[in-house]
Amino acid sequence: MSVGAIAPSSRYLAAAMADGAEAFDAIVEVGGGTGAITQALANRNPEARLVVFELSEQLADGLHARFPHAQVVAGAFHENVSVLHDLPQKTVVVSGLPFRSLPAGIVRPTVEALTDVLRVDQARRLVQFSYRLRAPFAAPAGFVWRRVCTVWRNAPPANVWELQGNPVSA
Ligand SMILES: C[S@@+](CC[C@H](N)C(=O)[O-])C[C@H]1O[C@@H](n2cnc3c(N)ncnc32)[C@H](O)[C@@H]1O
């Protein structure tokens, strides 16, 4: 199984990702892995509804055991997005998906599914990390990337990005 990472995210990267998910009523995490970021999200936002998608059934089982209050969905995000039909307006999506190493045939439907969630409300955003200076994927029409910070205490160092609807094109 390719997870696109050398090691789970450090607690410093997890904390930086959780910074972008404060004050939302629901958090959707895509690519929960072993739960490094999930833990920071759950600690920081105990009241928020938490939905975690994880492709690997084995890792999803681990997440389910570790975070019993979360809704853990095993399988590809874009194939299971229908479980998100009743999200509150104030929803943030947090992703550890390795977009630059995923097959194009997966990237396209995944980005479409993500932007469908974001388009519901201008305040929604995607918080995403990448190991490169380039944006994780090309911003879809009507959206802009903002690079929030670089987390050096991660192997390898990672950039935290936010994708949001472009107010100019709203
Ligand atoms: C780079 S790892 C990040 C894991 C964890 N969030 C962290 O930061 O340590 C990416 C994770 O995304 C999962 N994944 C890959 N493609 C996916 C997809 N289409 N839908 C849901 N999860 C996916 C992988 O199985 C892997 O656990």
Q: Domain containing 38 — which CATH number?
A: 3.40.50.150
User: Based on the structure, what is the number of domains in the chain?
Assistant: 1
What is the distance in A from the centroid of ligand 1 to the CA of 170? 31
Going edge to edge, which strands form the sheet with 26-30?
Answer: 71-74, 49-54, 26-30, 91-95, 125-130, 158-165, 143-151
Domain assignment present for residue 57? The answer is yes
Sign of the torsion formed by the C-alpha atoms of 48, 53, 57 and 63? negative
For a ligand 1 pocket test, name from 1, 54, 130 the mutation site with the most ligand atoms within 8 angstroms of its C-beta: 54
Q: Which pLDDT tens digits describe the chain residue by residue (170 residues)? A: 344 556 899 999 999 999 999 999 999 999 999 999 999 999 999 999 999 999 999 999 999 999 999 999 999 999 999 999 999 999 999 999 999 999 999 999 999 999 999 999 999 999 999 999 999 999 999 999 999 999 999 999 999 999 999 877 66
pLDDT at 1: 38
Residue 105 backbone class (left: φ over 0; alpha: ψ -120 to 50; beta: rest): alpha
Query: And the tokens for 58?
Result: 């084995």
Domain assignment present for residue 1? The answer is no
CA distance 138 to 130: 13
Range of the domain at 65: 11-169
Helix (H) or strand (E) run with residue 124 in it? none
φ and ψ of 22, to 5 deg: -75, 150
Domain assignment present for residue 5? The answer is no
pLDDT at 130: 95
Domain assignment present for residue 79? The answer is yes
